[in-house]
Chains A and B, each alone.
Chain A
Amino acid sequence: MRPSPAGLPTPSPSRRSLLRSAGGVALLAGAGIPLLSACGGSNSASDPNTVTLGSNASDAVPKKAFAEIYAAFKKKSGITVDVNTKDHNTFQEQINSYLQGTPDDVFNWFAGYRMQFFAAKKLATPLDDVWAKIGDNFPDAMKKLSKGEDGKYYFVPLYTYPWAVFYRKSVFQQHGYTVPATWDELVALCKRMKKDGLVPIAFGDKDAWPAMGTFDQINFRLNGYDFHVELMAGKASWTDAKVRAVFDHWSELLPYHQDGAMGRTWQDAAQTLVAKKAGMYLLGSFVAQQFSGTADLDDLDFFAFPEIDPAHGQDTVEAPTDGFMVSKSPKNHSGVVKLLDFLGTPQAEAIYLKADSSVVAASSKADTSSYTALQKKAYAMISGAKSLTQFMDRDSRPDFTSTVMQPALQKFVQNPKGVDGLLSSIERQKKTIFASS
């Protein structure tokens, strides 16, 4: 879940697609579904030398990076990639109707449950033929992430980034702090930082998703990867004592979090770390985007969230992965296969990573020689992980996480005392949502 500033969507719709969507709106607008067919763009003709691609890469850096990949592909194969870019958040909100309308051949998407959901709804094409060629380029954890519930591949990963605890080396040096390896050391470090006049842990939850990252870390350190999967799949109960223990640990740490998190975006919270007012910050590695100067960026470092239960150690890493899927009936199937074969190569990843240094390659064969120190460390952390998780809202039903978990965790952050009532409320709502389809 990489947030993007409110962007400017808009490929201008052709007259025909406008009419098509007008008809659709008449049918569906009652349900409030924004129809996307108007944005389908120019895929009406099936030109063997063109592949259409729906992109959510609306931010300047990734947009340019992707464009370079497609240019390289054209040079190699002669096939043009016709990119239809939409604002990141809009793309996500409309994906549902987009895939049912006239989607582009290929589209940007996320690994994990969110990919499996559309695969199970038969809105995506299986990619086993592509994986037969690119399979050797990826570690097993990535293969697992790219499969649907039916065991077929539906996803080609491009890049990933870890969640960890970020800090500034100079601040740690100045006060003589050491990286905490266990929960008790973490709490002790927080206490020291507070005494030293620092905000121990920077925190901003205005967008409601960052708190899910904290929950995930404590949960799989305490209860392990398997429990995380069960809980996110709606199988384990939220009233389980294991979940209660997660919130108890979190309550212990909450007083060391930055005041007033609910009114602060992650960008503003990151600025506290940049300004050396905060000691640590638990976030994805995209936090580096907030460090503008190279001196500041060199000073940034991170460590894996400390161990809580030695049985699970630090073997799970939260590493959301972004990549590509193919819509249910692509106009140019052979072109699509060629494109995905290319996207699955280390060369394609290298092109992307040259332009966007806040993420690392999903492939185990990618060239890491040009990586920054931070990227190298992130890469080592991910490739050394026993299990990779995606993120609460990528490992679970998005309707559950956005309508139930986001407000619930915000409520907890506001008032850590009412956990029991909160958990039974989550469990009741979870049951009805997971039962609905």
Chain B
Amino acid sequence: MTTETTTTTTGTAGTAGTAGTAGTTQTPEAGAAPPPGTTLHRKRSARGHQRLLTRRDRFVLAVMAGVPTILHLALVWVTALASVLLAFTTWDGIGFDSITWVGLDNFRQLFADNPQFWPAVQHNLIWFVVLILVPTPFGLFLAVQLDKRIRFSRVYQTAFFLPVVISMACIGFVWQLIYNPDTGLINSITGANRPGHYIDWIGNPELNLWAVLIAASWRHTGYMMILYLAGLKSVDPSLREASALDGANEWQTFRNVIFPTLRPTNTVVLVVTIIEALRAFDLVFVFNKGAQGTELLSILVTNNIIGESSRIGYGSAIAVVLLVISLAVIIPYLIVTFRKERRA
């Protein structure tokens, strides 16, 4: 308590501009202000052991913490658990009494009989591999170039980042104008919309996934670029200076100095890309509703659950598969990387 009073005093003295020496507790300002403050504080804290908060405080706190907790539990956990449970039933969504327990039947059907399931898993996987191999390195490349403060850097930055601002559904519409086999940009220019020379970008199962992936990459590049640009901004300039003094050329500097310092960014990039691949939905849904060649797990879930007589149990089973895949990928990765970073 005494030290506290002293500091306050010096503080007050200092600000007041009085040439008082440290430790003089006798200045009128100091003498007047702190003691009542201390007593008040002491009094309150003594009572506080019994009642730290008034009834009103506790009520407000309960509402502030309680309402979000209840909402979170109800909207996230209860629903997630409910759909896991529903995955073992059949239910057409009409009345709760029509829910029938069927055990693993939904999963058996899914793995054995559904002709769209394995292609969907495969496409989600391809989606991830393509995103990590094409737009991610390209985004990094652009970020490194833009980080050099070249002329019109802001213009390029905006141009590449623009697709990220547009919603996926809109991107789907825009790219349909390009891919439309009859009236689209590509086929009109190349004349591939005549019988005999026909290229069906949207319908051909060997083409359409790649066509959608180009659109997805177009957007993902900008996203990656901005993440890496943020990462590069945080690289200590003295590191570059040091490597320049050591006589390293640009590539060597990047490989041995810059890239290793981007490790936290890489973690984020990888996780973001995995999530993008697993939640891929909107672009394809707009493009061709996940028809032949572009099936995705998220679309199968939607097709089974939304509709006038839905197969909610079956759809939930697909959702559970998606959940398991997500957890299986994300959890081990996060554990490993965070452990590594903590050590480092």
Interface residues of A, Cβ cutoff 8 Å to B: 25-26, 29-34, 92-93, 95-97, 100, 114, 117, 121, 123, 199, 205-208, 259-264, 268, 271-272, 397-399, 402-403, 407-408, 410-411, 414, 425, 428-429, 432-433, 436-437
Contact = CB atoms under 8 A, between A and B. Distances in A.
Given A263-B204, A407-B291, A30 B307 contact: no
Given A31-B82, A262-B288, A399-B309, A437 B92 contact: yes
Contacts of A272: 182
Nearest to A406: B291
B245 interface: no
Interface in B274-308: 288-289, 291-292, 301-308
A148 to B, nearest CB: 15
B291 A32 contact: no
Given A33-B305, A262-B291, 12 more contacts: A31-B86, A32-B312, A96-B309, A97-B93, A206-B288, A259-B198, A260-B181, A260-B204, A263-B201, A432-B105, A437-B92, A437-B100
B86 A34 contact: no
Contacts of A25: 75
Interface in B78-103: 78-83, 86, 90-95, 98, 100
A365 to B, nearest CB: 31
Given A31-B93, A32-B315, A96 B203 contact: no
Contacts of A397: 309
Contacts of B199: 260
B307 A93 contact: yes
Contacts of B311: 399, 403, 433, 436
Contact of B98 (A97, A263, A437): A437
B308 A114 contact: yes
25 contacts: A30-B80, A31-B305, A31-B312, A32-B305, A32-B312, A96-B93, A96-B94, A96-B308, A96-B309, A117-B308, A199-B195, A208-B289, A260-B198, A260-B203, A262-B203, A263-B203, A263-B288, A399-B92, A399-B307, A408-B115, A414-B292, A425-B113, A425-B115, A432-B105, A433-B311
A402 B289 CA distance: 12
Given A259-B195, A263-B203, A429-B109, A32 B306 contact: yes
Given A96-B93, A411-B292, A263 B200 contact: yes
B291 A31 contact: no
A436 B98 CA distance: 10
A30 B92 contact: no
Given A411-B292, A437-B92, A263 B308 contact: no
Nearest to A414: B292
B115 A411 contact: yes
Nearest to B109: A432
Contact of B181 (A30, A31, A263, A411): A263
A268 B90 contact: no
A403 B198 contact: no
B291 A208 contact: yes
Contacts of A205: 203
B108 to A, nearest CB: 9
Contacts of B200: 259-260, 262-263
Q: By DSSP majority rule, is chain A's interface helix, strand, loop, or mixed?
A: helix
A199 B115 CA distance: 32
Query: Which 5 A-B pairs give the minimum distances between C-beta atoms?
Result: A262-B203, A30-B79, A30-B82, A260-B200, A263-B202
Interface of B: 74-75, 78-83, 86, 90-95, 98, 100, 105, 109, 113-116, 179-183, 195, 198-205, 208, 288-289, 291-292, 301-313, 315-316, 319
B313 to A, nearest CB: 8
Nearest to B290: A407
B6 to A, nearest CB: 57
B92 A268 contact: no
A264 B181 contact: yes
Nearest to B85: A30
A262 B209 CA distance: 13
Given A264-B182, A398-B308, A26 B94 contact: no
Contacts of B309: 96, 117, 397-399
B202 A407 contact: no
A121 B97 CA distance: 12
A437 B182 CA distance: 43
Nearest to B306: A93
B133 to A, nearest CB: 26
Nearest to B315: A32
Which of B105, B113, B201, B319 has the most chain A CB atoms closer than 10 A to its own CB?
A: B113
A432 B306 contact: no
A93 B308 contact: yes
A192 B181 CA distance: 25
B142 to A, nearest CB: 32
A118 B179 CA distance: 40
Contacts of B316: 31-32
A60 B233 CA distance: 54
A212 to B, nearest CB: 14
Contact of A95 (B75, B79, B308): B308
Contacts of B208: 263
A135 to B, nearest CB: 28
B308 A206 contact: no
Which of B80, B198, B311 has the most chain A CB atoms closer than 10 A to its own CB?
A: B311
A33 B308 CA distance: 11
A93 B289 CA distance: 15
A117 B78 CA distance: 30
A121 B201 CA distance: 43
A398 B291 CA distance: 17
A123 B94 contact: yes
A402 B307 contact: yes
Contacts of B183: 268
Nearest to A32: B305
B281 to A, nearest CB: 13
A425 B116 CA distance: 11
Which of B180, B198, B199, B310 has the most chain A CB atoms closer than 10 A to its own CB?
A: B310
B114 A262 contact: no
Nearest to B112: A428
Contacts of B291: 206, 208, 262, 407, 410
B203 A261 contact: yes
B83 A32 contact: yes
B344 to A, nearest CB: 40
Contacts of A30: 78-83, 86
A44 to B, nearest CB: 23
Contacts of A93: 306-308
A244 B204 CA distance: 24
A278 B235 CA distance: 63
Contacts of A96: 92-94, 307-310
Contacts of B205: 414
